Amino acid sequence: MALQEQLDRFKKQQERCQSTLSGIAASKSVSKSTPKFTPAPAASIARPPAPAVKFSNDTERLQHINSIRKSPVGAQIKRVIDLLLETRQAFTPEQINEACYVDINSNKAVYDSLRNNPKVHYDGRRFSYKSKHDLKDKNQLLYLVRKFPEGIAVIDLKDAYPSVMEDLQALKASGQVWLLSNFDSQEDIAYPNDPRIQIKVDDDLKQLFREIELPRDMLDVEKDLQKNGMKPATNTAKRRANAQHVASSKPKPKKKKQEISKRTKLTNAHLPELFKN
């Protein structure tokens, strides 16, 4: 009997253990199907990044602007005139300040100098470049050159408009203009080659012209031109005087006295008594 009772208790214990295990398995399956929400720690929550503090990376530009505004008046004026020459546009003081950092409104000396500058035109509100000759194209350039049969300096035409030098070379290539150099100033002079003034010369007159013997010295040529009321294009006397002055002003190198030493090569070997000491 005692043994039977022990077997019955053991079976009951097994049944209880089996029911407990099945209950645990059932609870695990429920937990997998409905996951529980677990709050994340505060440190792991993603937050939007704070806006970075931006410091000025334009230090070099500000230093450059400051150096321009502290520069001499002449340097600031040149900067403005270069701007007007390159762009060929009219600028207000505010636009000049933005383009080349010259503050005209805050500098009375620069403002007054620009208004009175012969290369600057001021209409009361805007500044623009003012060339010596108001030309727009190649036709106006040719018309101007033809008004100066004695020649016009190319330097006076360079700033007329941006492509004036290209047009001048084109006129030279087409034979409408001559470009010659002045021997004294070494500057190019533009002369008109107007076909309306071309004349036909007889061969006899050409032969007489070729038979005329010209002086060999340029001084005599210049004197003959002056006698006939013409101004020579050269000044030989002045050029020769300048050349002589330059030549005379150069110091002549001094010759070093040659001293006899142990390394000196003696050529008078047949007179040894001269070199005993």
The reply to whether 116 falls in a domain is: yes
Q: Are residues 69 and 122 in the same domain?
A: yes
Q: Are residues 121 and 62 in the same domain?
A: yes
Q: Would you list the DSSP string of the chain?
A: -HHHHHHHHHHHHHHHHHHHHHHHHHHHHHHHHSPPP-PPPGGGS--PPPPPPPPP--HHHHHHHHHHHTS-HHHHHHHHHHHHHHH---B-HHHHHHHH---STT-HHHHHHHHT-TTEEE-SS-EEE--SS---SHHHHHHHHHT-TT-EEGGGTTTSSTTHHHHHHHHHHTTSEEEEE-TTT--EEEEE--GGG-----HHHHHHHHHPPPPSSHHHHHHHHHHTT---S--HHHHHHHHHHHHHHSPPPPPPPPPP-TTSPPS-TT-GGGG--
CATH label of the domain that carries residue 156: 1.10.10.580
Tell me the per-residue pLDDT of 52-92, one tens digit each, with 9 for 90 and over. 544 455 788 888 888 999 999 999 999 999 999 999 999 99
The reply to whether 254 falls in a domain is: no
Is the CB of residue 130 less than 8 Å from the CB of residue 119? yes
Q: Are residues 77 and 107 in the same domain?
A: yes
For the ranges 50-64, 91-105, 138-152, the lowest mean pLDDT is seen at 50-64
Q: How far apart are the first and last CA of the chain?
A: 157
Tell me the per-residue pLDDT of 213-233, one tens digit each, with 9 for 90 and over. 878 888 888 888 888 888 887
Q: Are residues 167 and 220 in the same domain?
A: no
Is the CB of residue 60 less than 8 Å from the CB of residue 97? no
Q: Report the percent of the chain where pLDDT is more than 70.
A: 70
The reply to whether 32 falls in a domain is: no
The reply to whether 154 falls in a domain is: yes
Q: Are residues 121 and 159 in the same domain?
A: no
What is the pTM for the complete model shown? 0.49
Query: Which of these three, 129, 146, 176, is where a domain ends?
Result: 129
Whether the predicted pLDDT of 17 surpasses 70: no
Q: Are residues 188 and 218 in the same domain?
A: no
In the structure encoding, which two tokens stand for residue 264, read together? 């000196």
Q: Locate tokens 């110091």: which residue?
A: 251
Q: Are residues 123 and 143 in the same domain?
A: no
The reply to whether 234 falls in a domain is: yes
In the structure encoding, which two tokens stand for residue 274, read together? 């001269």
Q: Are residues 188 and 230 in the same domain?
A: no
The reply to whether 10 falls in a domain is: no
Quick one: average pLDDT of 103-109? 92
Sign of CA dihedral 73, 75, 76, 77: positive
The two beta strands, 127-129 and 120-122, are antiparallel
Q: Are residues 104 and 123 in the same domain?
A: yes
Q: Are residues 104 and 74 in the same domain?
A: yes
Q: Locate tokens 């030493």: which residue?
A: 261
Domain boundaries, position 210: 203-241
Q: Are residues 66 and 110 in the same domain?
A: yes
The reply to whether 263 falls in a domain is: no
Q: Are residues 232 and 182 in the same domain?
A: no
User: In the predicted model, what is the mean pLDDT of the chain?
Assistant: 79
Number of domains in the chain: 3
The reply to whether 1 falls in a domain is: no
